[in-house]
Amino acid sequence: MTQTSGELPIEEIVRRKVCGHLAAIYPDRDREEIARELLRAMRLDEDCQTPQSHRNLWDQTDMVVITYADTILSGDRRPLQALHHFLKEHFTMLINSVHILPFFPYSSDDGFAVIDYKQVDPALGDWNDILRISTDFHLMADLVINHCSSQHRWFVNFQEGKDPGRDYFLAVDPSENLSGVVRPRTTPLLRAVSDGDETRFVWCTFGHDQVDLDFRNPQVLLEMVDIVRLYLDMGVRIFRLDAVAFLWKKIGSRCINLEETHEIVRLLRTLIEHADPNAIIITETNIPNRENLSYFGNANEAHCIYNFSLPPLLVNSLVSGNCRHLKNWLMSMPPAQNGTTYFNFIASHDGIGLRPVEGLLSDDEQEALIQTMENFGGQISWRALDDGNRKPYEINISLFDALKGTTAGEDQWQLQRFTCAHAVMLALEGIPGFYLHSLVAGTNDCRRMAEHGHNRAINRRQWQEGDLNRKLADPDSHHGKVFRQLRHLIRVRRNQPAFHPNATQFTLHLGEQIFAFWRQSMDRRQSIFCLNNISDTPQTVLLSSINLIGTDKWKDLISGRHFEDMLGSVTLAPYQTLWITNQ
């Protein structure tokens, strides 16, 4: 039976909501007709669910592994099957979600120049492999929404004047003033396309093989919604909206974070949550912190936003031995209201972004960080500025190598520093996301970077499953040591209500070498004081400075150590973490 709300059928309520979104996006179009097509594409005319407002779709057991489909290779299995086998062997009952980076046929950018959104790359497997993974893990997949490959059928048809695709892309007069357009790359914004009789210049935010789609044409939106429906049918529960901040273009504007872009996110939220109330949207917006926060909307846009400022600020703290900027940032972050939360990560398939620390780190501090990362084998990727100059955009380096020392050089604390970084991520408000290479302590892959010809390949190593398993089982290898310690931290986190992604969080002030914060469970029964020594020297903390209540019994969840003298002190070794709890 159709669900209802009040006197109106739920289908009618959703139709009106969709029309409201469309009125803001396409004020001069027939929104009733577009709404009918959208609802039909999502099958909401057949089965329309009622999502619960401000409901948390996650708890402290939710964690994500981020990986390419072909990170794990095995001679007798297809890559998706090998990945599934590896995940089940090592992460069952530990990590319940997996983000498989684009697994579609592609032409460049390791999957983000999609040739066909509706196929699984045959070199990786097929939709049955995806469905099998989705039965064992919550599946997160990319909706590469801003652009497609220049080899996509739509763009081929655009060049030939055929449908579908003839009017799916944005052609611009190169004499227009486009100097204010925000760019994440240094390549020219426009690509010349000639059919013999006419040359057109199409918009390419990320590069000439990744041609931007023109969402001013409602048919492009309909195509994307049809793809969303397919992904839901194939078991996708979490939608990562790739590069969504650049979606809408207006000549004369910065062409980023425009109101139409936000409205399209709100529309997708309405359609997806009424098709599956348990589905989640995450916006990938690698932009300054305040702009990033805007994608929460009023709990009506993204369920989760990436905490893009966390990786560079945390790495900076650990290599400088000073957490002042990290602490100031944490104090400035608003608590996510119920139904929304942060997606925390400290490493990914891309680099350590520098745009998210604009206004947080000074130019000199950024330069010191960049120099340190280059000393540890890192590379720098650049973006173009409107004055024709360029500026560092991201640091490309494996996180394990990024933390092999401090600004003073390499030292003996790499393993401890690396573990501390993950302990911080696990304890913060939000859902933690582990890049698979970090879970296994992968190092810089300079050979792959040279072979592929781009900096990001330095942190995209492929592993033979048997070889990696041997490294993880070896008690003397750094891979095995890190893996065991991170698995221990994950097990501990899963059982703590105070680590719920929406549990209370307050920043503590214990100096610039101790990064500390307090978490309290939503029922207020459990407190956890998270103390992290981010320096290479021991640090002593008075227990009275964190106000442990004398009537409670306190212990460190990581080591099992008990604290009975509330007027005493505790000394943290370099890069040690304590999770002091009353339960």
CA distance 152 to 143: 15
242 has catalytic annotation: yes
Q: Do 256 and 287 meet the contact criterion of CB atoms below 8 Å apart? A: yes
3-state SS assignment for residue 501 = coil
Sort strands 97-100 and 64-67 into parallel, antiparallel or unpaired. Answer: parallel
Comparing CA positions, the residue from 370, 379, 424 lying closest to residue 397 is 379
Q: Do 257 and 287 meet the contact criterion of CB atoms below 8 Å apart? A: yes
The pair of three-digit structure tokens given for residue 466, joined into one six-digit string: 């048997």
Sort strands 527-533 and 562-563 into parallel, antiparallel or unpaired. Answer: unpaired
CB burial class (10 A; 0-12, 13-18, 19+) of residue 80? buried
- CB burial readout 267-295, b (16+ within 10 A) else e: bbbbbbbbbeeebbbbbbbbbbbebbbbb
Sort strands 554-556 and 562-563 into parallel, antiparallel or unpaired. Answer: antiparallel
Q: Do 27 and 61 meet the contact criterion of CB atoms below 8 Å apart? A: no
Alpha helical stretches, state H, 27-108: 31-41, 79-91
Q: Do 60 and 493 meet the contact criterion of CB atoms below 8 Å apart? A: yes
Q: Which of 109, 212, 242, 556 is catalytic?
A: 242
Distance of CA 68 to the CA centre of its chain: 14
CA distance 410 to 169: 49
The pair of three-digit structure tokens given for residue 488, joined into one six-digit string: 């221990």
The pair of three-digit structure tokens given for residue 164, joined into one six-digit string: 């579908």
Residue with tokens 């939710």: 62
Q: Transcribe 447-489 into DSSP letters.
A: HHHHHHTSGGGGG---EEHHHHHHHHH-TTSHHHHHHHHHHHH
Q: Do 421 and 361 meet the contact criterion of CB atoms below 8 Å apart? A: no
CA distance 123 to 237: 24
Q: Where are the beta strands (DSSP E) in 49-96?
A: 64-67, 72-73
**Active-site positions?**
242
